[in-house]
Amino acid sequence: MRTPFPSPLLRRCAPLLVGFLVAGCEGDGSSDPDGEVQTVELSAPDLRFGSLDGPDALVPVGPVALADDGSLWAAQSQDGEVIAVGSDGVLRHRVGGLGEGPGEFAMVSLLGWVGDSLWVTDNRNRRATFYGPDGSERGNAPLPAATVGADQRGLVDLDPADERSSELTALVPGGAVFSTGPGAQTLMDPAAPVDGIDPVLHTTREGGAGDVIATTRGVRNRVIIAQTAGGEIRSIGIFRQPWSDGSLLATSPAGDALVVVDRPVATADEPAAYRVTRIGLSGDTAWSTTRPFTPVPVDLAYRDSLLAAWSNNGASEDALRERMFLPPTLAPASAAFVGRDGRVWVGRERPGGRIGGRWDVYSAEGTLEMEVTAPARVDLRAADAATVWGVETDELDVPFLVRYRLPGG
């Protein structure tokens, strides 16, 4: 085992590397490779929205949320806006605007649905704004913050002095879900462990002390490198971990469950498999399944080109190599989201950082149903029973929203 579990309960319930709390081990199993799995190749989209210029031109697309009526709401963070594209491919609504005033966004951080209200969070302005399906504003509220309750720390063997940062994952009916991770001081400490268990919290809408409903395997997804001189910090560089194998976390559009994808890179000591687990907001495990994989080597030329480019942005290449997680093979999963029909979409490896490729699609009950291949340069983002939406970038990196029909849709 690469990472010890924080309690005997977790050790009993997880033969592979699984980062979640469970009320029982029911539903635990593995995907049947001999079962009926449909192979789907996405080719021509039935809808494409965007243009090189004009009112339909898009800037880089941030988070998206699919509505009941089939419209896609998509963040245009560079412009501080959220747009809604109807199921007919026509721009229906445009809300927000860049700024700090009411109804404006300094940045669009997250968005999703609670009932028939779209929520949009802005981490810089520290507030959430709510909209109706017609784009009308329904008010706003301060962004909540969360802490691990003192009575919850023992569940995950969390030291009372352990500094935790929290990050909102989703607003849900009557509450909120937060992921947690090491604080900034821990991230800047070269001696700090890169592995660990990070609690996922369920709180009231106001935040505060939360209940631990799951845990994720906490390989640090960011590296903070402080440049010092004379004992003082002169600059701080923040770099992402493009080869991280830390757990992926996704919330169901209905806000009634979350999905954890544990995706450790292959080692000689463990079977090469990733695990998908669906957990209710009470912390009960609905199902958990594993999927074996064949390790894909890291593209060393791509890795070295990134490190060389980042070395001109606040840190030496040697410091980056020392602090970053640089495995010989890729993590078996690169992205995950839950469709409006409850199906779980898991994006597989992205050699050389290339977008597109294979997705494993699990039913709402945890059975592997489809292996979907997306075209090159198409990043799938949201789905329902009949369609899947993605962001396509052309050769000039101009983004477009695209929609594909699924079998039976």
Residues 6+ apart with CB under 8 A from 232: none
pLDDT in the model for residue 314: 60
Which three-class secondary structure state does DSSP give residue 172?
A: strand
Higher-confidence residue of 18 and 406: namely 406
Q: Is pLDDT of 335 > 90?
A: yes
pLDDT of residue 324: 82
Binned at pLDDT 50, 70 and 90, residue 2 comes out as very low
11, pLDDT greater than 50 = no
Share of the chain above pLDDT 90, in %: 62
Residue-wise DSSP of 217-253: E---SEEEEEEEETTEEEEEEEEE-TT--PPEEEE-T
115 SS3 class: coil
Looking at the domain assignment, is residue 352 inside a domain? no
Per-range mean pLDDT, top range of 141-155, 315-329, 358-372: 358-372
Residue 188 near residue 125 (C-beta atoms within 8 A): no
More confident residue, 153 or 113: 113
Residues with Cβ within 8 Å of residue 87, at least 6 apart in sequence: 47, 69, 70, 71
How many CB atoms sit inside 10 A of residue 2's CB?
A: 13
Q: Is residue 153 part of a domain?
A: yes
The reply to whether 240 falls in a domain is: yes
What is the average pLDDT value for the chain, to the nearest integer?
84
Q: Has residue 288 got a pLDDT over 90?
A: yes
| Separation CA 83–CA 138 (nearest Å) | 16
| Rounded Cα distance, 147 and 167, in Å | 10
Predicted local distance difference test score (pLDDT) of residue 17: 32
What is the pLDDT at residue 19? 37
**Is a pLDDT exceeding 50 seen at residue 214?**
yes
Sheet with 164-172: strands ordered across: 145-148, 207-217, 197-204, 175-182, 164-172
Under the phi-then-psi rule, with left for phi > 0, alpha for psi from -120 to 50, and beta for the rest, what region is 204? Answer: beta
pLDDT of residue 166: 83
Is 233 a member of any domain? yes
Q: Which of 80-84, 122-126, 323-327, 344-348 has the lowest mean pLDDT?
A: 323-327
Q: Check residue 209 and give its pLDDT.
A: 86
| CA-to-CA dists, residue 180 to 119, 185, 210, 337, angstroms | 21, 14, 11, 19
Residue 26 has pLDDT above 50, yes or no: no
pLDDT in tens, 131-165: 999 999 999 999 998 887 666 665 565 555 556 67
Region 189-208: mean pLDDT is 78
SS3 state of residue 11: helix
pLDDT at 50 over 80: yes
317 within domain boundaries: yes
**Tell me: the pLDDT tens digits for 61-103?**
999 999 999 999 999 999 999 999 999 999 999 999 999 998 9
State mean pLDDT over 154-180: 78
Average pLDDT over residues 222-228: 63
Residue 277 has pLDDT above 50, yes or no: yes
Question: Both tokens of residue 122?
Answer: 């802005």
Say whether pLDDT at 1 is over 70.
no
Bridge partners, 279 (sequence order): 258, 285
User: Would residue 223 count as lying in a domain?
Assistant: yes
Between residues 323 and 195, the one the model is more confident about: 323
pLDDT-based confidence at 227, cuts 50/70/90?
low
Q: Would you place residue 232 in the very low, low, confident or very high pLDDT band (cuts 50, 70, 90)? A: low
The reply to whether 350 falls in a domain is no
Is 91 within the bounds of a domain? no
Number of domains composing the chain: 1
Question: Once rounded to an integer, what is the mean pLDDT over residues 376-390?
Answer: 97
Q: Is the pLDDT of residue 24 over 80?
A: no
Residue 267 is predicted with a pLDDT of 87
Task: Tell me how far CA of residue 183 lies from CA of 4, 87, 233, in angstroms.
Answer: 21, 42, 17
When pLDDT is averaged across residues 314-319 and rounded to a whole number, the result is: 76
Instruction: Give the domain extent around 170.
Output: 1-28+145-326
- Bridging pattern class, strands 232-240 and 222-229: antiparallel
